[in-house]
Structure 1
Amino acid sequence: MTEPGLAEVLTWRPEALTELADAWDGAAARLQAQADTVDDAMAGSSGVFTGSAADAARHAIGPTAAGLRRMCQALILAAAEARDAAGVIGHARDRVLAVVSDARSAGCRVADDATVAPPAEPSAALVIVSGGSDSVARALLDQRAAELTRALQGALSALGAADADAARAIDTAFNAASAAPAAVRPAAAAADPVAGWPKMSQDSIAGQIAAMSESQRRHLIEQWPDEVGNTDGVPWQMRVAANRINIADAILDEHRKIDVPEEVKLRAAMARTLYPADAERLWVTLHVDPALRAATVAAYDRGARRLIEYYETLLADVPDPVDRDRWVPRQILSFDPGRESLIELSGDLDRARAVAVIVPGLNTTFDGSADDVATARRFVAGSGGDVAMISYLGGHFPTGPLLAGVVDAADPRYALQMAPRLVAFSEDVERQAGALPVTYLGHSYGGSILGTAERLGLTADRVVYVEAAGAGVGVHDPSDWHDRNPGVVRFSMTAPGDPIALVQGIPFGPHGADPDEMPGVIQLQTGRRLTGAPMAGPRAHSDVMNEPSDAWHNILAVIRGDREHIRVMG
């Protein structure tokens, strides 16, 4: 690695990387439009252009169109790397400039090789501070110059490393697009290696992948990213890599929506009207009122742009929960917008001594999961990295403001739909976590999802029902739970005054029994807030998971298996 010279660094504009990223995003959208045109042209010619020449033409154009789409993905992924680099390089350059400023304000001379020379003469004030000794003052200046030299050279070295890392990351994104596809033929595999996955066990899928070479696994990720990124049994490193491609494709899909003709956008607005007569009047108005037409088109585009911005955050690096000065890629284990599935791992699984899975509740949304991820990251940080956390959004959750949300949360179908997926995922977690203990946290409606999953055969070491709506659909007695780990230990936590208590365990209720009253379930104390006040009342419903209070530390102690610090109800 060649470190940049100081004069060169002073001319750098890290924000130019952000501008380049925007240009690459635009290029990806335009290139995708051309690829779509090629595909449409070939599809449209199938009925009029036949024979061996037509077949040869379609066979020849196939790899070209596929290459165009790989380049679109590469541009999106490279843009994400460039945005990350803009932040990291900008921060590193600011450190260099700060040392230079300190040196110059002290009257030191700064050379391009990052050596700092002391002033030719010590100031009168320094001589006085040095007891009137000119030699002592000069020695102090020499010492300070040496310190500044070390600091400046260290800052330049860090900047050079950040620059080199960014270059490698961007090169990797583009190299994936230009790499020639490799044949995937693991033992006993069909031409389509993922075709049998829906009917295969997770162990069989894992075994099939284990038989592949590294190049075959890379090809599997590139050719079938949706299946690889969202199938239990696939190694998590592969799922993370595949889901970066899936997120890039989702960004391209939203660009495609923006690029459709205005007439298509106007018809989409009409589709939301209730009656044909209203739709007809709206259609006429849109064509005679330019302002309304423009507003309708802008509203259509706004939704797509909002999703693009959100998906870009999923591709962006985030601060390491344990070392905020270090940035790490996000680890997305499932990304399926159609099913509203988003599963993310926070922390370092190789370093962790325990794993936890958080199942959130009411008003959790696919594109509004930042709070749930932040909750997971706080547990990782609070454990010093001893805990790896997974935020689990396995489908559509009940949503709605105030009373409407409460009414929607009374519907058990969300739990019934998501619980089987959670059961399957728990098998994958057990495989990936190895000997690490795994704890599941079901918060609010998530408690019903978790309890229903236990009824269907979840695999867990510890389970915590946190301010839970219930013990699970159809769960009225501990015998209704069928966790595959017979030694599972169950806990519950409900803060005094949490309105959730009004729906817990009501007769014939949709979410089963009150977990706080189930035999064998250990009740956890909620204790006090940071202010010293009791953790109680409506706000406690969410605060037990987010405020670093007694309740939060109690939950963390359960996750860590720290029996000495687990506080239970007397």
Structure 2
Amino acid sequence: MTSFDTSPQLSVWRALAALAVVFVMLATTGWTAVRHHRESTALQVSRTAWEQGRLDGRELPDPAAAPGRIARFFASLTAPQRAALVRDYPLAVGNMNGAPAELRYRANRVALRQQIRLERTRTHDTRLTPAGQQLAVRRMERFEAMSGADRQILAFDPDGSGRAAEVIGSLEKAERISVVVPGVDTDLLTFERTNRRYSAPLGMAEALYAAEHEASPSTRTAVIAWADYTSPDGLGIDSATAMRAESGAVRLNALLAALPGSAPVSMFCHSYGSVVCGVAAHAMPDRVSDIAVAASPGMRVGSAAHLGTDARVWAMRDDSDWVQDVPHLEVGGLGHGEDPMARAFGARLLSAHQAKGHGGYFEPGTDSLRNFAGIGTGAYRSVECAHDDDACTAGLSDTTKAGRA
């Protein structure tokens, strides 16, 4: 729930009341399925072209094949052959788990430049309303920023409000990898911000990367700003159910399964992003050593033990965060269950001192960001617990890097 720093408690309760009414209506009248015909998206078109394409007379593998098979295919190609695939199928290659990260960055840069040309045309399309033309301007400007030579875009889908993922640092050389999973109202236009920079996915990742370097200069880290799922739009029905989290969890685990190397992975899940991580936890690869949640409305389970993972589970929440007043329950699919900050949940409770509001957990200078950096670099004894004790670090040491507890 990234964008609701100033949402009053009353709005939360009204939203929950409205959701209850919707649930009753659905329960008594049944679900109504409405099917709308949609044209194929740009990503679907690119994948279809890939499926029908050939390279020097050779069939191309299924783009949804296991990452290992995709990796072996690209490893068997010459540099000119890889370049040809980037040129002909940029969106397919740019979103293909198992393709080399550097190749995905190149492919997405090509795809972004194609979308820039499309949006530039739309800015002058008289069939669009002034608001539609202005939206095209904003998208064009965002794509121009993302297409810079210094950007490492790991995933890009321009359809609708859009999805993206970006890497800070080197995935191939990293000794530890961190993944930031944001909450509601996350899309291509909110992926990065000038104002409230550290409440946006890219700003979160950049702040964490810098904090990790400060915490452990000798540790090579990489951070992924992962906004490659369709998040809920505001405090509506989607934010109170697991529907978006379930589809997001599939995409998240596909990313994790395709990460190169064997470096330990730490998850940092904010607000509704913690719901995604909770749903995904049972199927995360063994290399995921830590799951840290901030401002969580719940993880769809009654306790950390029910997540189905051996990863360490951490939780934090600032006293000024309005999410603490959201009822932590689950009834008929509405709500996300027990509060991860409750002692009975069983998470390791961290200090979030100075993380003001709902979106301040990645602000430089906060306990929350320092604690994230300690987890991300494996410096577990450096973290500050929530209750001025060392309960959250019991049984851990700074040498507990890849292991779990």
> Which of 242, 258, 271 is matched with 1:428 structurally?
258
**CA deviation after TM superposition for structure 1 residue 421, in Å:** 0.5
The amino acid that maps onto 2:273 is G
- Tell me, yes or no, if the aligned pair for 1:379 and 1:387 is still in contact at 8 Å: no
> How many corresponding residue pairs?
317
**Runs of at least 5 residues in structure 2 that lack an aligned partner in the other structure:** 1-53, 193-199, 390-405
1:515 maps onto 2:340 in alignment: yes
Distance in structure 2 (CA, Å) of the matches to 1:258 and 1:507: 45
Superposed, 1:287-298 pairs within 5 Å as: 296=129, 298=130
Cα distance in structure 2, aligned partners of 1:391 and 1:361: 12
| Shift in CA distance, 381/503, structure 1 to aligned 2, threshold 3 Å | same
List aligned pairs for 1:271-286, cutoff 5 A. Answer: none
1:214 aligns with 2:79: yes
Distance in 2 of aligned mates of 1:419 and 1:209: 26
Instruction: Tell me, in whole angstroms, the C-alpha distance in 2 between the residues paired with 1:381 and 1:230.
Output: 26
Instruction: Show CA shifts across 1:281-332 (max 9, x none).
Output: xxxxxxxxxxxxxxx4x44322212211111011125xxxxxxxxxxx1000
Q: Does 1:238 align with 2:61?
A: no
Say whether 1:397 aligns with 2:231: yes
Q: What residue in structure 1 maps to residue 279 of structure 2?
A: 452
1:251 to 102, 111, 116: 116
Structure 1 residue 377 and structure 2 residue 198: aligned? no
Conserved? CA contact 1:422–1:458, under 8 Å: no
Q: Quick one: distance in 1 between partners of 2:327 and 2:290?
A: 21
Instruction: Report how far residue 408 of structure 1 moved.
Output: 5.0
Q: Distance in 1 between matches of 2:183 and 2:253?
A: 17
For the pair 1:197 / 2:36, whether they are aligned, the reply is no
Structure 2 partner of 1:337: 158
Between the aligned partners of 2:380 and 2:290, the Cα distance in structure 1 is 13
User: Cα distance 1:350–1:544, how it changes in 2: closer, same or farther (>3 A)?
Assistant: same
In the aligned structure 1, how far is the partner of 2:324 from the partner of 2:173?
A: 38
- What's the secondary structure of 1:505's corresponding residue? coil
Question: Which residue of 224, 227, 235 maps to 2:89?
Answer: 224
1:500 maps to: 323
The CA distance in 2 between the partners of 1:540 and 1:300, in whole Å, is 33
Q: Is the 8 A contact 1:490 1:521 kept in 2?
A: yes
CA displacement at 1:559 relative to structure 2:
0.8
User: Would the alpha carbon gap of residues 335 and 350 (structure 1) be closer, same or farther in structure 2, given more than 3 Å must change?
Assistant: same
Is 1:348–2:165 an aligned residue pair? no
Tell me which amino acid in the other structure corresponds to 2:55. V
Distance in structure 2 (CA, Å) of the matches to 1:241 and 1:446: 28
Q: For residue 321 of structure 1, what is the aligned residue in structure 2?
A: none
Amino acid at match of 2:132: Y
Q: What is the letter of the counterpart of residue 179 of structure 2?
A: V
CA-to-aligned-CA distance 1:252-299 (integer Å, 9 cap, x gap)? 221343454x3x33xxxxxxxxxxxxxxxxxxxxxxxxxxxxxx4x44
Residue 347 of structure 1 and its aligned partner are, at CA, apart by: 2.1
Query: Are 2:146 and 1:300 equivalent residues in the alignment?
Result: no
Paired amino acid for 2:229: G
Once the 2 structures are TM-superposed, how far is the Cα of residue 185 of structure 1 from its aligned partner? Answer: 4.2
Judged with a 3 Å threshold, the aligned counterparts in structure 2 of structure 1 residues 351 and 201 are, in CA distance, closer, same or farther, namely closer
1:150 alignment partner in structure 2: none
Q: Radius of gyration: which is bigger?
A: 1
The residue aligned with 1:490 is: 313
What is the Cα deviation at residue 516 of structure 1? 2.5
Letter of the 1:514 counterpart: D
Query: Given the alignment, which residue of 338, 342, 361 partners 1:544?
Result: 361
Instruction: Say whether 1:184 aligns with 2:87.
Output: no
Structure 2 residue 283 is matched with structure 1 residue 476: no
AA of the residue aligned to 1:251: I
Identify which of 417, 441, 446 aligns with 2:247. Answer: 417
**TM-aligned CA deviation for residue 493 of structure 1:** 1.0
1:514 CA drift (Å): 2.0
Task: Tell me how large the CA RMSD over aligned residues is.
Answer: 2.4
User: Partners in 2 of 1:479 and 1:356 — Cα distance?
Assistant: 22
Contact 1:205 1:234 in 2 (8 A): yes
Could you report, residue by residue, the CA deviation over 1:472-516 in whole angstroms, capped at 9, with x for unpaired residues?
3xx234454234xx4x21111122342212236324353233223
1:437 aligns with 2:264: yes
Letter in 2 for 1:218: A
Mapped to 2, the partners of 1:333 and 1:553 lie a distance apart of 26
Q: Which amino acid aligns with 2:319?
A: P
C-alpha distance in structure 1 between counterparts of 2:174 and 2:283, whole Å:
28
**Deviations, residues 58-98 of structure 1 (Å, cap 9, x unaligned):** xxxxxxxxxxxxxxxxxxxxxxxxxxxxxxxxxxxxxxxxx
